[in-house]
Amino acid sequence: MRETVRPCAKVRQRPDPDAGSKACLAPGTRVVGIGVVPFWRKVQLSDGRTGWVAKQALAEAPAGAGVVRTGAAASAPAIPAAGDDHWLEVHVVDVGQGDGIWIHTADDGIPGNGVFEGRNIIIDGGPDASDGRNELLHYLQRQAPDGAFIDALIVTHPHDDHYPGAQAILRHYQVRDYYDPGYPSSSSKYLSFRAVVAAESADGRAIIQHIGRAHFGQPDWGRELQVQFLYAYDSTAALGSGNTKVNNASIVLRIGYGTQSFLFMGDAEGKERAAAPDTARYVERWLLDSVGPGLKSTVLKIAHHGSETSSTLPFIRA
């Protein structure tokens, strides 16, 4: 158990925040990891009993500490073969008018080996910042205890059906990295949200803010993933005006895992509302010209909620 656990870490009967407690382990108690699910690790206690502990309460014991671990860290750069339970999970949550997506990578139970690390990524948060009506928060809370780690929070663009719900994620969980397209919004509501982001910390470390595509870098979500930030706000591009311009600031993200891939479009647009669908403009045109064949994906999270302004025919064909 982490030394910072106070007063103790509960060992639960099931990987569920509301499950009954079998034991409460003091800081520094050593256990053996024997299984994993999102946000939880199954452990064996010194008396042979087993149960589930929230991952944020656990830290890997130092080498030579006499603790038996399941598995061994990979020493070769090759990515090990995925087991039958090594799924990439993409949960697209019904948040009403808006986007709220939770991505979870497989966990091989070997902390720190750089592959299958059980990462959690959130894309947008839906329209409601309150706890009572935030459907993404409710969905996560059925699986993740308060204080769990979110490795990355991505806000695709500063519209009210995408970022407000992320504020509840920041309230209830520890967010390590934040990604923002860098659109210069003057909305007081959005600026207040950004102030909440800036005050966040995870495991005693201040949140790392990646503002603008030039600062996104290559995220450490596990070597088994192919992660590409294909687009984010470009002040030199022809993006339209008003709401169209804000939509066209959206972060566009592609994630590949094995033979499968997901393209997350935010609200990026491809044409004016009244224009014909045969010609792509705006972000869709930019992606066609800059990425081309690299757009091909297994799953498309369609842009702008399937609006008339998204998904031109050239883009869908690509």
Distance CA 246, CA 60 (A): 43
Evaluate whether 67 touches 61 at the Cβ level (below 8 Å).
Answer: yes
Domain 89-317: homologous superfamily in CATH = Ribonuclease Z/Hydroxyacylglutathione hydrolase-like (3.60.15.10)
The residue with tokens 């925040």 is 17
Amino acid letter, 281: R
Token pair for 263:
């393209």
Backbone region of residue 67 per phi and psi (left: phi > 0; alpha: psi in -120 to 50; beta: other values): beta
By C-alpha distance, which of 290, 282, 214 is closest to 248? Answer: 282
Q: Report CA-CA distances (Å) from 143 to 162, 168, 180, 245, 296.
A: 22, 16, 26, 37, 32
The pLDDT tens digits for 195-247 are: 999 999 999 999 999 999 999 999 999 999 999 999 999 999 889 999 999 99
The pLDDT tens digits for 266-300 are: 999 999 999 999 999 999 999 999 999 999 999 99
Q: Which pairing describes strands 21-25 and 208-211: parallel, antiparallel, or unpaired?
A: unpaired
By C-alpha distance, which of 49, 58, 43 is closest to 9? Answer: 58
Distance CA 284, CA 317 (A): 12
Evaluate whether 89 touches 107 at the Cβ level (below 8 Å).
Answer: no
Does residue 74 register a pLDDT over 50?
A: no
**pLDDT grade, residue 65 (50/70/90)?**
low
pLDDT of residue 69: 44
Token pair for 4:
């910072």
Does residue 77 register a pLDDT over 60?
A: no
The pLDDT tens digits for 10-31 are: 999 999 999 999 999 999 999 9
Q: What mean pLDDT is reported for the chain? A: 93
By C-alpha distance, which of 304, 167, 184 is closest to 234? Answer: 184
Distance CA 116, CA 307 (A): 36
Distance CA 51, CA 288 (A): 50
Domain range 9-57, its CATH number among 2.20.28.10, 3.30.1510.10, 2.30.30.40, 2.40.50.220 = 2.30.30.40
pLDDT of residue 76: 42
pLDDT of residue 79: 78
Domain extents in the chain: 9-57, 89-317
The pLDDT tens digits for 98-132 are: 999 999 999 998 888 999 999 999 999 999 999 99
The residue with tokens 């081309």 is 292
Section 62-85 average pLDDT: 58
Does residue 63 register a pLDDT over 80?
A: no
First to last CA, the chain: 49
pLDDT of residue 13: 97
Q: What is the pTM of this model?
A: 0.93
**pLDDT grade, residue 62 (50/70/90)?**
confident
Section 156-175 average pLDDT: 98
Section 48-74 average pLDDT: 72
Does residue 147 register a pLDDT over 70?
A: yes
Identical topology for domains 9-57 and 89-317: no
